[in-house]
């Protein structure tokens, strides 16, 4: 309706602010109206990286890797240079599609354009590599490249360690995370608990349980609570469960 009013009032044109056009594009993309979003994009002669990245991000969130890649190629043909957020959206789409090969090609481009230390892009790469059983060194090198890891970085790294069967290293990473002042969230804790499958699972779960009680963790949501119950029940610690 807003778009139609702008057209009716004769407000649509080169003089309409890029900020308003970007807001319209975001609105259409959030509603899944990608045809309308692309109409706004192509009707904007001064398209910039924000508009293109908004389109690519919308495709990525919808799990549409190929349309995201096509938009990226269109962006390059329009001579609009991508930024770290553009690559973040593309790598996230690769992660959702389990497209490791394309994700690694994008990783190489981050190095080419000196964006390999950007936290948002690194977090997307960590998620990609954490899902692969063969890319442990890539996971490790990517984490080491993050200048200031945040809770998303640490959680993805811990998930990768768990997936590679490195439970003790994952708990060591959890300890380092807290030592650096980064507070875990419910995803961090449930990730650790889901990986408690070794003979020492109950001991590890008990440590997390103690941490939750000691810190009065405010986000003991269903995921964390259910994970604790699952570990205790699996190993016959029904009193704790």
Q: Mind listing the pLDDT tens digit for each residue in 169-190?
A: 998 999 999 999 999 988 898 8
Residue appearing with tokens 């309308």:
36
Mean pLDDT score, 192-207: 72
**Per-residue model confidence (pLDDT) at position 201:** 65
Q: How far is CA 40 from the centre of its chain?
A: 26
pTM of the model: 0.81
Within 8 A by CB and 6+ apart from 57, the residues are 29, 85, 89
- Alpha-carbon gap, residue 173 to 155, rounded angstroms: 9
Mean pLDDT score, 141-159: 95
Q: What is the pLDDT of residues 37-67, one digit of tens each?
A: 888 777 776 678 988 998 999 899 888 999 9
Confidence of residue 241 (pLDDT cuts 50, 70, 90): very low
Confidence of residue 155 (pLDDT cuts 50, 70, 90): very high
In a domain, 182, yes or no: yes
In a domain, 107, yes or no: no
Mean pLDDT score, 227-234: 73
In a domain, 14, yes or no: no
Q: In this structure, what token pair is assigned to residue 95?
A: 């992660």
Q: In this structure, what token pair is assigned to residue 19?
A: 């900020």
Question: pLDDT at residue 5 above 50?
Answer: no
Question: pLDDT at residue 239 above 70?
Answer: no
In a domain, 173, yes or no: yes
Within 8 A by CB and 6+ apart from 119, the residues are 146, 147, 148, 149, 150, 153
**Per-residue model confidence (pLDDT) at position 168:** 84
Average pLDDT score over the chain: 83
Domain limits for position 186: 158-241
Q: What percent of the chain has pLDDT over 70?
A: 82
Question: pLDDT at residue 78 above 80?
Answer: yes
Note whether 161 and 131 are within 8 A (CB). no
In a domain, 38, yes or no: no
Number of structural domains found in the chain: 1
In a domain, 170, yes or no: yes
- Alpha-carbon gap, residue 129 to 104, rounded angstroms: 9
Question: pLDDT at residue 114 above 60?
Answer: yes
Mean pLDDT score, 73-100: 95
- Alpha-carbon gap, residue 80 to 96, rounded angstroms: 25
Q: How far apart are the first and last CA of the chain?
A: 53
């Amino acid at each position: 309706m807003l778009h139609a009013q702008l057209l009716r009032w004769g407000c649509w044109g080169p003089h309409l602010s890029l900020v308003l056009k970007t807001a319209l594009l975001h609105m259409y993309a959030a509603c899944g109206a990608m045809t309308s979003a692309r109409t706004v994009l192509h009707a904007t002669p001064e398209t910039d990286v924000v508009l293109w990245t908004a389109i690519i991000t919308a495709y990525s969130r919808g799990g549409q890797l190929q349309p995201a890649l096509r938009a990226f190629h269109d962006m390059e043909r329009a001579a609009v240079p991508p930024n770290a957020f553009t690559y973040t959206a593309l790598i996230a789409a690769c992660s959702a599609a389990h497209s490791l090969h394309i994700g690694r090609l994008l990783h190489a481009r981050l190095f080419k354009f000196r964006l390999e230390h950007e936290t948002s892009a690194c977090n997307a790469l960590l998620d990609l590599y954490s899902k692969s059983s063969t890319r442990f060194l890539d996971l490790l090198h990517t984490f080491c490249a993050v200048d200031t890891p945040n809770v998303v970085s640490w959680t993805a790294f811990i998930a990768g360690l768990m997936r590679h069967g490195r439970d003790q290293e994952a708990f060591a990473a959890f300890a380092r995370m807290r030592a650096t002042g980064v507070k875990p969230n419910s995803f961090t804790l449930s990730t650790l608990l889901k990986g408690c499958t070794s003979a020492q699972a109950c001991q590890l779960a008990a440590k997390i349980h103690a941490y939750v009680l000691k810190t009065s963790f405010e986000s003991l949501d269903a995921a964390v609570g259910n994970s604790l119950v699952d570990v205790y029940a699996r190993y016959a610690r029904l009193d704790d469960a």
